[in-house]
Structure 1
Amino acid sequence: MPHFSPVGSVLVDPRTARVHEEGWQSWSPSGAYALGTAPYRPADDNWATVCYRPGRTVPAGTFQGEGLLALDPGDGSPVRLWAAADPIHEVPSVRLTVRDGNIAEIGADGPVKEWSGPDLQSALAHWADALGLPAPRRAPTVWCSWYEYFTAVTEDDIHENLRAMDTLDLPIDVVQIDDGYQRALGDWLALSGRFRSRGGIADAIRARGRRAGIWTAPFLVDPRSETAAEHPDWLVRDTDGAPLHAGRNWGHDLYALDTTHPGAAAYLTEVYATLRAEGYDYFKTDFLYAGALDGVRHTATDALTAYRAGVALIREAIGADAYLLGCGAPILPSIGLFDAMRVSPDTAPHRRPEADDHSQPGQDPAEFTGTARQWQHGRLWVNDPDCLMARPTVETRERWAAHVEATGGLMASSDRLLSLDQWGVDTTRRLLTGAAR
């Protein structure tokens, strides 16, 4: 169990004090809580692995930030923030408990530095500004297949929406094919039966004056994939020598790719170099948490170093000019690696998440965490609030569109464009046009 050392003690007004917890990765709930409220926690063990920081169970009555925790004492005094001293290489957990009703005790299980500011968002922004990162590149506007077609997307669906973009005069720079084109997680260059030619569809997109984008989950491997069957030595292992369990999704267990293995590293390079050669220059990399899981790797290195090295392999293969979006990624260890970053859990056509777990898809959790991470936008990367959905069947579509617009971040439409009514077309065009300016 981690040992937490005291790093601060602050008098607070228990009626008005607020605590900001920074979650581990894109989908981990992040936001500000009143002292008397219970922060969002995983509803089951699988989600604890896939959407939170594995192995960091938080005791009841305790607030915990992963590398960042901020406290507004509520009495007019400055906000206090405790942040990782070296956020790229070591991300301590920072805890806050309340003693005697009005004394906040802060502890950390690794080195932290203290910062201050007039309010929570300003204190967090001040910390980010001090990193001295260059301003991120402007994001292109995007159409993404996911929230209409999910894993059932076909090549014909892409062609239909390509034509509709022209008919509806939508300013879409990138047409991004999401999950479903590949045969299996890990077999990225083998097509599912619903696609005829990955290079051919990229050519068709580019022929219409748009850029081709594609989704991958580079550090996940399906146990049923050819990659897992033919190269079991490419998998991260647990301490017993078995493939490390990286959670469960799509109805099956998941393994993690060991990018410190020379064969796995060469394969990863081949995948992304091939996709780039086929004409793709926008890459959505998803479920990146798997690359940062603790486990036994071919090369003895810590998980965060292995994670950053794996992302660096991808960047080298796609080139500096390609646009790289991270998702499901450990937040602080990703600093300096991506052009844009998903800063919330998935949205959904519905508002409430399953089991009220705010790491799960839903408009409520996406708004909660996306708003709380607005301080990252333009400082660490371009924030991705997740896709606009404007079709009539989407719950509270007006409210969701207003949230996406207010972030000023990456703007991506994810509807079957011919299913949009007039409000949907007008809203989609207006938000894309605003983002393109």
Structure 2
Amino acid sequence: MNWTIEAEPNTLRVLVSGYQSWSEAELRPLTALQAVPLMPWRHEQGHDPAFLPSGEAGRWRSHTLIALVRPDGGGWVGCAGDATRTFTHWEARMEDQSVQVSCTQEGPEVPVFWEATTDVITTVEALSARLGEHMRARTPPPLRVWCSWYSYYREVTLEAMLENARHARAKSLTFDVFQLDDGFQSDLGDWTLPSAHFGGHARDLPAALNDLGFAAGLWLAPFLVGPSSRLAAERPDWLLRDPHGRPLLAGHNWGGPYHALDTTHPEALEWLRELAATVREWGYTYLKLDFLYGAALPGVRHDPTVGRAQAYRMGLQALRDGAGEDAFLLGCGAPLASSIGLVDAMRTGPDVAPFWDDESRRVWLGDATGPSARNALHTALSRWYQHTWYQPDPDVVIARRELSLLSAAERHALAGMLDVIGGLRASSDPIAMLDEEGLALLRTALHLSVPDRPTTLTGSFGGAVTHFRRGRFNLLDQAQQGLAAHSYLSEPVPTAPGQR
């Protein structure tokens, strides 16, 4: 499918969304360069290796949805009509006096909607909502979650979880869920075997949290398998393979590479169902399912008739079946549109970190998918419309001053992101570490809000969607129109011409 737009390329902006949670979403001049990571392993871990960012100026690739914006706020919007078994890829390419837009699909052909509009913001919202409705999106009430990751990382212990839950209760903090993150397990794939340092077993935690008034949440990376794990040794036939028959390398983390499950293998699917059912029996009603992209990587599968999008969906369906319809599933590192209808919430940007920007990685290595406050804001804000697909999870606010390089303005910008995006509220600060200022910011961030919407796509402070009805973000390193660098101003701003 191809369209020609008769317009001067240098007058247009392009709104794109990357493939999975961490893949960059942007609002840029069409003439600008779309960066692609120089590190090949980031192609698998941060993008779709079968449809990477272009790495060229004036050529922009997007997944599921794309928009081109004129200076008056009108333009053109394209969006897929279904994503259950098909990946829809968009590309906009500038020419001398026009723009060529193409759409290709990997998987069975599905409807595609392409509309010229006088109001791009409204049309983006309408077409994305149509996709969510078609796929029977799950959008339950948002939850307020304390997560262990951004303070304890893999060194989390059973006692650290309980200590923070006790402090939260003593200070009347309105968390719904305390979620145990990575570090409790002995290896990727060996989820029921405890790590040496955890000081107990994951099954010991839910009852104690329930007694304190909190639901229990658990992190899993269910589609990943550690090369030294018991699972890899006992069931090598369950691993996704490369064209030479070797176990596929699915990324690089935890000090080395790792493998992915082949979710077309019937026994692997049953193992996923049993895993989800087991942790549910332990008492975990909230599951954060991370690094989900692994099931959709290009590779040789047990069933060669199943495409990547369908294979991913099969694995996610097995987890939903095992956990039950009433479990709350949060996707992360996940193909976004292909998760609609199976997850309750979705991470819509890279990880937050206790520093503003990893500039050398982002600028010199072309990789804005890594953890930083700036990357999380940049991408999550540019996916404001996805609240009709699931509850958005823009990640945590960092309210602490200790163990952090964030300024007060940057901390408040993260809180502003949670307010504007709506959806989940999350924190990871050691609660005993928070002073009165930090506690006040945390309490503010835990207030639930409805999603806001942009006032304009014709200008921004930082290559992303930054101007909303409830306020403006400045993601740049210099002040803009009286708004300090790296900050959020929560005063309403006038609506731009042509926007509602």
Q: TM class, shorter-chain normalised?
A: over 0.9
Counterpart of 2:61 in structure 1 is: 64
Q: After superposition, what is the alpha-carbon deviation per residue over 1:90-126, rounded to whole angstroms, capped at 9, x for unaligned?
A: 22321111111x3111122336431344444322211
239-248 or 278-287: which moved more?
Answer: 239-248
Structure 2: which amino acid aligns with 1:229?
A
Structure 1: which amino acid aligns with 2:340?
I
Number of residue pairs matched by the alignment = 428
Unaligned regions of 5+ residues in structure 1, if any? none
Structure 2: which amino acid aligns with 1:428?
L
Structure 2: which amino acid aligns with 1:109?
T
Aligned-partner SS, 2:101: strand
Contact 1:39 1:63 in 2 (8 A): yes
Aligned-partner SS, 1:281: strand
Counterpart of 1:369 in structure 2 is: 379
C-alpha deviation, 1:38, in angstroms: 1.6
Structure 2: distance between partners of 1:296 and 1:287: 19
Aligned-partner SS, 1:92: strand
Counterpart of 1:52 in structure 2 is: 47
Q: Structure 1 residues 8 and 435, CA, compared in 2 at 3 Å: closer, same or farther?
A: closer
C-alpha deviation, 1:59, in angstroms: 5.0
Aligned-partner SS, 1:97: strand
* 2:424 is aligned with 1:419: no
Contact 1:117 1:126 in 2 (8 A): no
Contact 1:13 1:73 in 2 (8 A): no
Contact 2:138 2:343 in 1 (8 A): no
Q: Structure 1 residues 45 and 318, CA, compared in 2 at 3 Å: closer, same or farther?
A: same
Aligned-partner SS, 1:387: coil
C-alpha deviation, 1:399, in angstroms: 1.9
Aligned with residue 279 of structure 1, among 279, 283, 288: 283
Contact 1:124 1:375 in 2 (8 A): yes
Counterpart of 1:149 in structure 2 is: 152
Counterpart of 1:96 in structure 2 is: 92
* 2:392 is aligned with 1:389: no
Contact 1:141 1:435 in 2 (8 A): no
Aligned-partner SS, 1:397: helix
C-alpha deviation, 1:278, in angstroms: 0.8
Scaled by the length of structure 2, the TM-score of the pair is 0.82
Aligned-partner SS, 1:159: helix
Structure 2: distance between partners of 1:16 and 1:105: 15
Unaligned regions of 5+ residues in structure 2, if any? 451-500
Counterpart of 2:164 in structure 1 is: 161
Aligned-partner SS, 1:130: helix
Q: Structure 1 residues 404 and 420, CA, compared in 2 at 3 Å: closer, same or farther?
A: same
Aligned-partner SS, 2:218: strand
Aligned with residue 253 of structure 1, among 257, 279, 287: 257
C-alpha deviation, 1:14, in angstroms: 4.0
Q: Structure 1 residues 107 and 435, CA, compared in 2 at 3 Å: closer, same or farther?
A: closer
Aligned with residue 76 of structure 2, among 74, 80, 83: 80
Aligned-partner SS, 2:19: coil
Counterpart of 2:417 in structure 1 is: 403
Contact 2:19 2:336 in 1 (8 A): yes
Q: After superposition, what is the alpha-carbon deviation per residue over 1:388-415, rounded to whole angstroms, capped at 9, x for unaligned?
A: 1100033021222222222212001111
Aligned with residue 444 of structure 2, among 421, 426, 430: 430
Sequence identity, in percent? 36
C-alpha deviation, 1:15, in angstroms: 4.4
C-alpha deviation, 1:16, in angstroms: 3.6
Structure 1: distance between partners of 2:385 and 2:247: 38
Contact 2:5 2:98 in 1 (8 A): yes
Aligned-partner SS, 1:109: strand
Q: After superposition, what is the alpha-carbon deviation per residue over 1:254-303, rounded to whole angstroms, capped at 9, x for unaligned?
A: 10011222222222122111110111000000000001112122223111
Counterpart of 2:349 in structure 1 is: 344
Structure 1: distance between partners of 2:449 and 2:145: 10
Counterpart of 2:24 in structure 1 is: 29
Structure 2: distance between partners of 1:97 and 1:266: 44
Counterpart of 1:123 in structure 2 is: 123
Counterpart of 1:176 in structure 2 is: 179
Structure 2: which amino acid aligns with 1:56?
F
Counterpart of 1:315 in structure 2 is: 320
Structure 1: which amino acid aligns with 2:324?
G
58-67 or 117-126: which moved more?
Answer: 117-126
C-alpha deviation, 1:336, in angstroms: 1.4
Q: Structure 1 residues 288 and 33, CA, compared in 2 at 3 Å: closer, same or farther?
A: same
C-alpha deviation, 1:73, in angstroms: 3.1
Q: Structure 1 residues 236 and 70, CA, compared in 2 at 3 Å: closer, same or farther?
A: same
Contact 1:338 1:381 in 2 (8 A): yes
Structure 1: distance between partners of 2:104 and 2:276: 37
Structure 2: distance between partners of 1:117 and 1:374: 19
Aligned with residue 288 of structure 1, among 292, 317, 322: 292
Aligned-partner SS, 1:12: coil
Give RMSD over aligned pairs: 1.8
Structure 2: which amino acid aligns with 1:126?
A
Contact 2:184 2:201 in 1 (8 A): no
Structure 1: which amino acid aligns with 2:231?
T
C-alpha deviation, 1:344, in angstroms: 0.5
C-alpha deviation, 1:134, in angstroms: 5.2
Contact 1:42 1:52 in 2 (8 A): no
C-alpha deviation, 1:351, in angstroms: 1.0
Q: Structure 1 residues 327 and 400, CA, compared in 2 at 3 Å: closer, same or farther?
A: same
Structure 2: distance between partners of 1:329 and 1:113: 23
